[in-house]
Amino acid sequence: MSADTPRRIVLLRHAKADWPQVADHDRPLAERGRKEAPAAGLKLAETGIAFDLALCSTAVRTRETWKLAVHEMPHRPRTSYEERLYDASLGELIALLNETSDEVENLLVIGHNPGMHALADALSGSAEGDAAVRMSRTGFPTAAFAVVSFTGSWKTVEHGVGTLLDFWTPEDH
């Protein structure tokens, strides 16, 4: 892969979680989340993006979201469960992206808010169509995802480097 390789990052927020009396990291999906996650997986499949790698937070709700979503996709990418995605700051998220191998063209990140929204905002120097308007209007609800493209090495990922190509929420379903 050369430095001018077009790449895509898809940022998926976990589906709706329940609030039982457990540690935040251990919260499972709610009934609504168990419906949202496969819908997000179907929509991810419809994008036609073949993911080379999925980085998934180790939290129960993100792992459950990914397990339900990936069943709807035609190709299961290599998956890495990443503790640093849980409760990560914007700077920590960008640092994680910077560590990605340049063999990876298309990356899926399954994480949490406010990080997923902040990262989509930060990376998107421009946007296609009404994606940015829809993202700012709805926030970044559970099971929503943003598709951001950029050209270059993962080591060059920083604020404003990408274009927001699409934004989807379960309400669009």
CA atoms within 13 A on the CB side of 2: 1
Cα 125 to Cα 121: distance, rounded to the nearest angstrom: 8
Q: Is 61 annotated as a binding residue?
A: yes
Binding site, residues?
61
Binding residues for substrate: 61
